Structure 1
C-alpha cells in the first residue's frame, strides 16, 4: 500500500465510489457504509507501451481524482481492472466479436488480472493506493463453449470477458488470490484497509 499525507479528519467524511459499475457498487455495499456513486469522466485509452499493471493503477487514481474534484471533502474510491495476457492488456470487450477473440486467446492459458485501488481526499491531501493481482487459469475452451457462455452471460462490460461471479466460473481451472473479491472488480480486503487508514470505522 502506498499512502501520502494524513487521513481525512472530518467526523464522518462522505464516501463516494467513483464508478458506475453495478459490480463495484454491490461489493462496496458489503461493508455496510453509506456511500454514493459518481461517474468518473476518464479516458481509458492505454498509453503506448504502458503495462497492464501500470494502466490499472493510473486509471484507478485518475477516476478517484476526477470525482474528488467534484467532492473535495469526501473520501473517494477509484478502481480499475485490466487483464494481462503475457504483458498485453485486455480491457472490456464491448462487443461479442471482441469477447470471442479475448476468450480464444486466453483458453488454456494463465492470465493475471490487475485490480487497482485508490482512495483520496482532496481537502486533506490524503491518498492511498494498492493493487490486487489475481492469477486465473482458463480451461482449454472449445469455440461452442465460448459462444454458449457469451450468449448466456453477455460479459461485454467485464475486463477479459470473464464474469467469474456468474457463469464465467465454468470457464476456469483455478483462481489464486489473497483478496477474493478482486476478480469481480473491487478488492474488499484492501478497500477496508485503506478506509481504516483514512479514519473510517469498520468492524
Structure 2
C-alpha cells in the first residue's frame, strides 16, 4: 500500500510542478511563521522553512509522506521575499538589475510513521539584465509577479529579464526542485513509475 502524499504548501506554482510527477497527492496549508530569524542567511531560512512546513503538516497527518518547500532570493546575503505589491516589486527589480542572485530553493520530505526525514537545497544562480525603469514597469504590468520571491517569473515573461540561469534542477527556480523531490520520495517509499 502506498502512503498518502501531501504537499505542505499554498503555492499554486508548487502544486502545478508536483502535478508533473503524475502521482496522487493532496495539498495542506502548513501554517508556519515565515519570519526570518535574526542574522539568518537566505540559505538557512529556506532550509528551515521547508523542513518546518513538512513537519507541521506531518504532525497532522502522521501516516502521510509530506513535502515542504521554500524559496528565498539571495542578493549578496540579503534575503528578498515575495514583494506582495507593485511598489515593492518595482524596488526589488531595480535593486536586482545587473546583479547576480542565488535563489535558494529548499525541499524537505517527512513521514512521522516511518521516521523518514530528508531535506536538500537546489541553489539557482540567476543573472539579471540591466533593466530600465520602463522595462521593469512594463513587465510588472504584464505579469504582476507579486507572489514570487524576487518579483520575476522565469516560466513566463520574466525570462526576458534574465541574462542567464545556472541550475542542475530545472524546476528549482519556479519553486520546487523536482529532481530532488523525486529522489526523496523514492527514498521515502513512493513508487513514481
Q: Are 1:108 and 2:82 counterparts?
A: no
Q: CA deviation at 1:162?
A: 1.3
**What does the per-residue CA deviation read over 1:29-59, in whole Å, with 9 as the maximum and x for residues that have no partner?**
1111000000110111101100000000000
Corresponding residue for residue 182 of structure 1: 172
Match of 2:31 among 41, 46, 50: 41
What's 1:50 paired with? Answer: 40
Q: 2 CA distance for matches of 1:47 and 1:89?
A: 11
Find the partner of 1:70 among 47, 60, 74. 60
TM-score (norm: length of structure 2): 0.99
Q: 1:141 is paired with a residue of what secondary structure?
A: coil
Give the alignment partner of residue 169 of structure 1, picking from 141, 144, 159.
159
TM-score with structure 1 setting the length: 0.94
User: Match for 2:87 among 77, 97, 119?
Assistant: 97
Q: For 1:153, which of 128, 137, 143 is the aligned residue?
A: 143
Alpha-carbon separation, structure 2, partners of 1:147 and 1:76:
38
1:119 aligns with 2:109: yes
Structure 2 unaligned runs (5+)? none
Q: Secondary structure at the match of 2:87?
A: helix
Q: CA-atom RMSD, angstroms?
A: 0.6
User: 2:190 & 2:2 partners in 1: Cα distance?
Assistant: 8
Q: How many aligned positions are there?
A: 193
Q: Which residue matches 2:187? A: 197
- Deviating runs (4+, > 3 A) in structure 1? none
What aligned pairs does 1:23-34 form with structure 2 within 5 A after superposition? 23-34=13-24
